[in-house]
């Protein structure tokens, strides 16, 4: 019942859209009917044109994200537990977090070329901020009881970060991953729209240049679905991996 009430407004909206486009109140080459967009979307999958760009966007986003996790989590944890690291990095990262990293596209193209590397690096840079900040907040808010008990058993400093601080900060780190996964897809697509080099973003801008609204729309649907799917996967993983987690830590 609840699901049904949610579907009704969307169904009405889509039906109105279809009707307006079919009746000819709007130019169907500017605002095509929903069914034609869905059809184009299916065709893109059936004739296989979409797989190459889809793969390009996906691997760039995931590699950039993975690199940001690999670098950001240790750095964030260190900031949470070591005074000097907090003193130096915390202001830099909290200052840089809201700034538009997208503006660095031309610089990254100059440094890393037009192709995948510049995109992966920008995705890495952009995702690094949420990863560092969420890990940092996770590690900072730990109850000292856990640290004391580990310390009293003679746990060394590096081991402490790895075996005590990391597991206890995981909930916050996963929040960071969920933010970063959305950022990764967004930055990948914008980079591809701006500097080309394959991927869904480039395909989208190319279909715009040819005035092919249906493909552009199908791209938008695909991009949104990927973003949503990755977000859901991150959420699912979080549930699977964190079921043991102590909530109050």
Query: What is the binding site for another protein (CB under 8 A)?
Result: 5-10, 13, 30-31, 87-89, 91-92, 95, 98-100, 102-107, 109-111, 182, 185-186, 189-190, 193-194, 201, 204-205, 207-208, 211, 213, 216-217, 219-220, 223-224, 227-228, 231
In the complex, least distance from residue 94 CB atom to another protein, rounded to whole angstroms: 9
In the complex, least distance from residue 85 CB atom to another protein, rounded to whole angstroms: 11
Q: Alpha helices, DSSP H only, in the chain?
A: 2-23, 34-46, 51-81, 83-96, 105-112, 116-140, 144-152, 157-160, 166-195, 200-209, 213-241
Nearer to another protein, 106 or 156 (CB): 106
In the complex, least distance from residue 186 CB atom to another protein, rounded to whole angstroms: 4
Do 60 and 53 touch, CB atoms closer than 8 A?
A: no
Nearer to another protein, 79 or 173 (CB): 79
Nearer to another protein, 210 or 244 (CB): 210
In the complex, least distance from residue 173 CB atom to another protein, rounded to whole angstroms: 22
Nearer to another protein, 103 or 145 (CB): 103
- Total residues found in the chain within this entry: 249
Nearer to another protein, 165 or 218 (CB): 218
Do 184 and 125 touch, CB atoms closer than 8 A?
A: no
In the complex, least distance from residue 44 CB atom to another protein, rounded to whole angstroms: 16
Spell out the long-range contacts of 79-87 with Cβ–Cβ below 8 A and sequence spacing 24 or more: 79/132, 79/135, 79/136, 79/139, 79/140, 80/135, 80/136, 80/137, 80/138, 80/139, 80/140, 80/142, 80/165, 80/169, 81/139, 81/160, 81/161, 81/165, 86/136, 86/140
């Amino acid at each position: 019942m609840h699901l049904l009430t949610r579907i009704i407004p969307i169904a009405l909206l889509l039906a109105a859209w279809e009707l307006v486009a079919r009746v000819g109140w709007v130019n169907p080459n500017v605002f095509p009917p929903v069914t034609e967009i869905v059809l184009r979307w299916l065709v893109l999958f059936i004739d296989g044109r979409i797989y190459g760009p889809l793969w390009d966007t996906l691997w760039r986003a995931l590699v950039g994200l993975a690199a940001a996790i690999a670098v950001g989590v240790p750095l964030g944890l260190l900031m949470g537990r070591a005074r000097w690291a907090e003193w130096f990095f915390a202001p830099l990262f909290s200052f840089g977090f809201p700034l538009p990293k997208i503006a660095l596209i031309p610089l990254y193209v100059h440094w890393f070329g037009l192709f995948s590397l510049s995109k992966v690096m920008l995705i890495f840079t952009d995702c690094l901020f949420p990863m560092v900040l969420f890990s940092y907040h996770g590690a900072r808010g730990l109850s000292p009881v856990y640290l004391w008990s580990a310390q009293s058993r003679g746990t060394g400093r590096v081991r402490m970060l790895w075996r005590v601080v990391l597991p206890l900060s995981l909930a916050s780190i996963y929040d960071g991953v969920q933010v970063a996964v959305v950022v990764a897809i967004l930055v990948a697509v914008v980079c591809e729209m701006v500097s080309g080099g394959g991927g869904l973003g480039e395909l989208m801008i190319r279909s715009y240049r040819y005035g092919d609204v249906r493909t552009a729309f199908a791209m938008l649907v695909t991009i949104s679905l990927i973003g949503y799917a990755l977000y859901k996967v991150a959420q699912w993983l979080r549930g699977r991996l964190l079921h043991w987690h102590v909530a109050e830590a």
